[in-house]
Amino acid sequence: MYEELAVVRESLAAYSSSAVGERLFGREAAWAPTCVVRRNACLMEPPRRADALDTMIALFALGASVPLPEARAALGRRCLGTLESLGLTSRVPGEGSVASAVAISPLGDDLLVCTDFAPPCHVSRDQPCMYVGPDSAALADVVSVVARGRRACDLCAGSGVQSLVALGSGATAVLAVEREPRAAGFCRLNRALNARRLLEEPRSSRSRAVLDDDDDRSFDLVAANPPFVAVPGELGYEAFADGGASGEAVIRDVVKFAADHLADGGLLIVVCEIHHHHHHHHGSSLVDRIAAWWDAEDEPEVVVLREPPDPTKTPAAVAARRCITARSRRLWIENLERQGIDFVSNGFIFIRRRLDRSNSKKKKKKSPLLLEAPRLWAMPPTNVEARSAARRALDYLQVLHD
């Protein structure tokens, strides 16, 4: 597969974040993830310049079909044949055109990440692999700052984007962990596409079951983009997003995993939605729940970073974005109200294990820190507020390299 994908990579050399950003948005972009394909804009028409880059954008970013002669001229017969043999593109019956079965997101000018398209654009009947969205890009932006010299674990890895970013930023080793078989396949595909070798094959498991019970392996960095959406039990939802009724079912397991496998001084970064409650959920604050999930004798240092509440984050506003029918909107609002959630904000959780856990309770404890900043999942380079807030969190935890 490495040799075949080397052909694809060479043919897609012009498909970079800066080039795609200039073509789609009129300016260079440090990241060009497939979230440019919105749920209500599948098969949107690309800019018509009839060149190779236009063809790549149409196929791999926008999900549009392209006439076969144009695809051959842009990608070359060998590349197109390789993509078809791998099942990444296919001929559209009766149309004489080609369509892509996968989205490909250029991240910077040296990474390409294959995923499924954003729902409802994806075509597989299997649980889709999460597209590279603003939460993925936001987490990757932080991972790129802290990964150097660390042994890292990409938990709930999806397409493996955090693994690739960590390795490209100087991590010494990375373990990608993913439960869903289709997503684990994308992890392997992306490792081969980017010619980056992970510590081992992605595992078909997640959180507490990820390592054997007697495995004492530890990590200096755990990065997680878990399912975090608070989903009513009566409604179906994509596995990569469904965090249970509270939205915290998998976040809890991620924290438990970190308690078992973070090295002294190690850092956990979780990108997720942070809920504002008019009363503490089940009688406790998020910081209290994190302390309960951290099933270890030492006490970690915690920073919660979230966007401030505003009218776009109310249960009604969230339901309007995520639901189509009146019934589903009603169920969504009712679930959030049952959970006591007033606002749903984009955010991060940072947890650091102390350097000397044996004496952590004897030393002066840092109080948990709650930070607020706007546009936390804005795309680089427009994420000035997000980067500043993340820097404050990392400075507080004293985890940045000199």
Convert the pLDDT of each residue in 221-256 to its tens digit. Answer: 999 999 999 999 988 888 899 999 999 999 999 999
Backbone torsions φ then ψ of 83, nearest 5 degrees:
-60, -40
Q: What is the pLDDT of residue 280?
A: 52
Q: Does residue 216 lie within any of the structural domains?
A: yes
My answer on whether 96 and 158 are in the same domain is no
129 in a domain, yes or no? no
Burial of 17-49, coded b for 16+ CB within 10 Å and e otherwise, reads: bebbbebbeeeebbbbbbbbbeeeebeeebeee
* pLDDT value, residue 72: 92
Asked whether the beta carbons of 154 and 223 are under 8 A apart, the reply is yes
Predicted local confidence at residue 123, as pLDDT:
55
The answer on 158 and 72 residing in a single domain is no
Q: What is the mean pLDDT of residues 120-133?
A: 74
| One domain, residues 143 and 234 | yes
Tokens 């380079």 found at: 381
- Judgement on whether residues 265 and 362 belong to the same structural domain of the protein: yes
Q: How far apart are CA 277 and CA 79, in angstroms?
A: 52
pTM comes to 0.90
The answer to whether residue 116 sits within a structural domain is: no
Whether 56 and 71 have beta carbons less than 8 Å apart is answered as no
The 10s digit of each residue's pLDDT in 259-280 is 999 999 999 999 999 999 866 5
**Are both 76 and 179 inside the same structural domain?**
no
Torsion of CA 232, 233, 238, 239, to 10 degrees: 120
> Angle at Cα 348 formed by Cα 346 and Cα 354, nearest 5°?
170
Residue written as token pair 């299997």: 126
Is the domain of 101 the same as that of 141?
Answer: no
Look up the CATH number of the domain holding residue 205: 3.40.50.150
Question: Can you give the pLDDT at residue 190?
Answer: 94
114 belongs to a structural domain? no
Q: Tell me if 275 is assigned to some domain.
A: yes
Phi and psi, residue 342, nearest 5°: -90, -35
Residue at 110: amino acid letter: D
Q: Are residues 52 and 194 in the same domain?
A: no
Whether residues 206 and 255 fall in one domain: yes
Residues 38 and 149 grouped into a single domain: no
Q: Please compute Rg for the chain using Cα positions.
A: 21
Please indicate, yes or no, whether residues 179 and 89 belong to a single structural domain of this protein. no
Query: Is residue 119 in some structural domain?
Result: no
pLDDT of residue 57: 87
* Domain endpoint, select from 93, 109, 125: 109
Same structural domain for residues 166 and 291?
yes
Residue 174 included in any domain: yes
Does 122 map to a domain?
no
Is residue 363 pLDDT above 80, yes or no?
no
186 and 87 within one domain: no
Top pLDDT among 46 and 182 is at: 182
Domain that holds residue 164: 134-397
- Mean pLDDT of all residues belonging to the chain: 86
Number of folded domains that form the chain:
2
- C-beta atoms surrounding 181 within 10 Å: 12
